[in-house]
Amino acid sequence: MPARHLLITGRVQGVNFRYEAKVKADSLRLAGWVRNNDAEGTLEIHVEGTPQALQQFEQWCEHGPAGAHVEEVRATDVPEDYLKSFTIQM
């Protein structure tokens, strides 16, 4: 399956983005992880799934949850890690 690495900038920490990203990923049956990059104030996501589900997830990431202000979503194709679920990393 295709896999993507997303780097999301803007007001993306302290607005439940990680939790809401997990809910969205689970609803789309995607695997991967999400974590804050505290040093840069960004959010990182690794996500794997069908092309259609990845597209829907990336579109959701462009606005994120209520309270978020997404400035940019940088997406890169990456190798699949064959993950089985979507997790929130601390």
Which among 4, 11, 16, 36 is annotated as catalytic? 36
- CB 81 within 8 Å of CB 8: no
Residue 35 bears catalytic tag: no
Residue 36 bears catalytic tag: yes
Q: Which of helix, strand or coil describes residue 32? A: strand
Which among 4, 16, 18, 35 is annotated as catalytic? 18
Q: How many CB atoms lie within 10 A of CB 12?
A: 24
- CB 68 within 8 Å of CB 12: yes
Catalytic residues: 18, 36
